[in-house]
Amino acid sequence: MKELTFGTLIAVFEEIFGRGLFWTMVALALLVTAAYLYVLIRDRAMSMRKFLWAQLSMPFGAILAVIFVQQMTHSGLRDIGGPIDVIVLLGVAVLGAVGSAILVYTVQSLLRPPRSGQNP
């Protein structure tokens, strides 16, 4: 592999997760992102209480993302071989943390929208 292209990345992710699971995760990510944007536009402000709960979910999302990727690749923490493995693992954890925060905030906002005339 001489150069890293978008198509190559998609092929690698399809190989790791399987075609169906990968595209399902992409569709869910797009759906949650669209719902998050809808909530932000609808509410016109962020609720700090909901944002706090979303932040508190971040460590759990990071841990679950790392466990999920390790299960899909049939590896464990003992298989970390060098600095690039640590960087990739930290990247997965960060993406899991951010994804869980967005998901938790969105779900809270959809289930409990702000009342009319009240600050979110």
Please write the tens of the pLDDT for every residue from 74-93: 888 888 888 988 999 999 99
What's this model's pTM, rounded to 2 decimal places?
0.84
CA distance 52 to 49: 5
pLDDT at position 1 is: 61
Q: Where are the domains of the chain?
A: 6-111
CA-based torsion, 87, 88, 91, 92: positive or negative: negative
Task: Kindly report the number of other CB atoms within 10 A of residue 110's CB atom.
Answer: 13
Helix (H, G, I), strand (E, B) or coil at 74: coil
